[in-house]
Amino acid sequence: MKKNLLLLAFVSLSLFASAQQDPQFTNWMFDRISFNPAAAGMKRMHCIQGFHRDQWDGFDRDPKTYMFNYNGYITPKDKLVGLGATFYTEVLGQETNNIFRASGAYHHQINENTLSVGVQMGMISKKLGTDWIAIDDNDAAIPYRGASQASFDMSLGLMFYSGEKYYVGASATHLNAAELDELNIKIARHYYFMGGYNYDINGDLTLRTNALLKSDLAAPVAFDLNANVLWTNSFWGGLSFRPGDAIAPMLGFQKDLGCKTANRKTTCQSFMIGYSYDITLSDIRDYSAGSHEIFATYCFNFSKAPLKARHGNPRFL
């Protein structure tokens, strides 16, 4: 236990001193809107989504992240505008991070492809716990126990895609690089480059590939590579790989619940659930039992059923 506490303190201090990175999710390819606002509206449905990540299981006070997303759209004057919202809480030892972001994206059709441009605005806050002791209480650079501060936060994103076939995108979070002077922390800008392609192997199998590059221009660039196979548009299994960090098997299930019409309104629904387990590759593997992550997504659409034309025969008036 003592060894776990010492190691966790070292990891937390390293994160604290280097301007905390954005949360990391192994199943990021099923999210995207949390770090790229241009993804809002891509699915052409209204979706609500929850994520939970338990990182480095086995540590005392191991990092935990909880995230909620909404992803939807509107069509003013037959134009597609994506809408989104993200809220997450991340607990890293004595540090708690909260972020709320509201997203908007405009989608422009280019032949069979679509280019979307998105913006996010919201708030970021950090809070320190009280169960720690400063080495030097007279050091002005060390924040007091229980300190907290919030600031405005802004992100931008681009996405170029073709339905469910492929996508490429780029985004930047924390563009205003807020300074939390009471905590002696400056939020670093983060940059993301992503892409994916779906290969139809046969009528029952689809290979889905995804890649993500992320950097804050200070720490080494991080890569996330993923491939998973979808069977009969229902079950999937695959593998994610982050060089130097983890390899993660994953599995999931999705179901199209179809459409129903009642009172001239058509409702279409679907849901998805997935799980991944990160096998740690770094030196932390001697202390950690790995990382667990689970998410669930429910999507729906409402539309008015068209009126059926009826023709009367004057012979029967």
Q: How confident is the model at residue 153 (pLDDT cuts 50, 70, 90)?
A: very high
Show me where the domains of the chain are located. 2-227
Q: What is the DSSP track for 178-220?
A: -EETTTTEEPPPEEEEEEEEEEE-SSSEEEEEEEEEEE-SSSP
pLDDT of residue 314: 58
Nearest-CA neighbor of 56 among 277, 294, 296, 295?
277
Q: How confident is the model at residue 310 (pLDDT cuts 50, 70, 90)?
A: low
What is the CB-side half-sphere exposure of residue 17 using CA atoms within 13 A? 6
Q: Counting Cβ atoms within 10 Å, is residue 210 exposed (0-12), middle (13-18) or buried (19+)?
A: buried
Q: How many Å separate Cα 280 from the centre of its chain?
A: 21
CA distance 193 to 211: 8
Q: And the tokens for 68?
A: 């909620």
Tell me the helix, strand and coil percentages in the chain, rounded to 5.
10, 55, 35
State pLDDT tens for residues 202-253: 989 999 999 999 998 888 889 999 999 999 999 999 999 999 889 999 999 9
The reported pTM is: 0.85
State pLDDT tens for residues 4-63: 433 444 344 343 434 446 888 999 999 999 999 999 999 999 999 999 999 887 777 778
